Amino acid sequence: MNRKIASHLDDFNHVISMIQMARANAYAKVNEELINLYYNVGRFVSQKVESAEWGTGIVSSLAEFIKDNHPEIKGFTRRGLYRMKQFYETYKDNEIVSTLLTQIPWSAHLHILSKTKTIEEKEFYLRLSIKEKLSVRELERQLNTAVYERSMLANKIVSALPSQMKNENIFKDTYVFEFLDLPKNYSEKDLRKALVSNLKDFILELGKGYSFVGEEYCVQVGNHDYSIDLLFFQRDLRCLVAVELKIEEFKPEFIGKMNFYLEALGRNLKKTHENPSVGILLCKGKDEEVVEFAMARNISPTMIADYETKLIDKKVLRQKLHELIVFENEIRKAEKD
């Protein structure tokens, strides 16, 4: 780099920043106009069909008309027009969700429309995409791994977490590590090393609010050193998160060790402006009743979760979520009676 450029490097970088910001704003504006167009076309088609002014064949005729007379206009095939109609009909009665629609691209909307069932599920992925600035590829993985169901099923943290931290959908009932290439009989060390080697995918599964601090993180208590498998900082919760890995089913004694780590972090590493540290025990399976008993008197913020090394059948998770909702409704009804 020559001296003339070096002496004005800050100014030059400022110009680059302005260009990049303008490009991002232009893309956002174009995307907003495009999404509004698809929504409005969908409304027009929906209203024509609903009023019986158009039969189903008219939509096909419209697609042919556009193709023959305006070949430069892309995306308005019969399938595309029905997608726009579905897009409008899905969100037309939900004003809050409608305000979010222009913040993600059309290809992301298509994934959400085709891979979700309820409006609650759709809203979840809309907000997740916006909050975590997911690429379309990242969103597709979140949909394929049923993040909504796993987040809804997540154990409540029975701890001293501030009330505003709860219901953030930050934790999951089951974590999916389908991206790992583990040997048949792997050890906890194999699991830890594989997760660190695939840190980008691992953090995407945890959630983008996580920043990696270290593996086998050493905490000293008295004259002894202890190692936490993985340590993260969660920006949304503003706290440290200790992750312990187990290749066996959850056992009550795991809680004691995690509580010890959280106490050590709280005394030796946590800063005054940070919230209490949280623990995640990742186990190869868990008996819900054993977990409930183990956590009943526990005051430390610890989450017990499964992990899988392959994709889980969404039907199983949806059924499990449905059973949980029915159970909670029965409890509320019994309490009223």
What's the pLDDT tens digit per position in 272-310? 999 999 999 999 998 888 888 888 877 778 888 899 888
What would the mean pLDDT of 55-69 be, rounded to a whole number? 91
Among residues 32, 47, 200, 43, the alpha carbon closest in space to that of 109 is found at: 32
CA distance 156 to 88: 35
What would the mean pLDDT of 6-12 be, rounded to a whole number? 77
Label residue 160 by pLDDT band (50, 70, 90): very low
- pLDDT for 298 equals 77
- pLDDT for 13 equals 86
> Is pLDDT of 200 > 70?
yes
What would the mean pLDDT of 315-332 be, rounded to a whole number? 74
Range with the lowest mean pLDDT among 123-132, 231-240, 252-261, 327-336? 327-336
Yes or no: say if 130 and 103 are a contact pair by the CB < 8 Å rule.
yes
Q: What is the CATH number of domain 157-332?
A: 3.40.1350.10
Among residues 162, 158, 157, 194, the alpha carbon closest in space to that of 178 is found at: 194
Yes or no: say if 100 and 129 are a contact pair by the CB < 8 Å rule.
no
- pLDDT for 242 equals 96
Yes or no: say if 206 and 232 are a contact pair by the CB < 8 Å rule.
yes
Domain coordinates in residue numbering, the chain: 1-92, 94-144, 157-332
- In degrees to the nearest 10, what's the CA dihedral of 279, 280, 284, 290? 60
> Is pLDDT of 110 > 90?
yes
- pLDDT for 1 equals 62
Residues paired with residue 151 on neighbouring β-strands, in sequence order: none
End-to-end CA distance of the chain: 78
The whole-chain average pLDDT of the chain stands at 88
Burial (Cβ within 10 Å: 0-12, 13-18, ≥19) of residue 208: middle
Give, to the nearest 10 degrees, the angle between helix 106-115 and helix 119-132.
Answer: 150
CA distance 93 to 87: 12
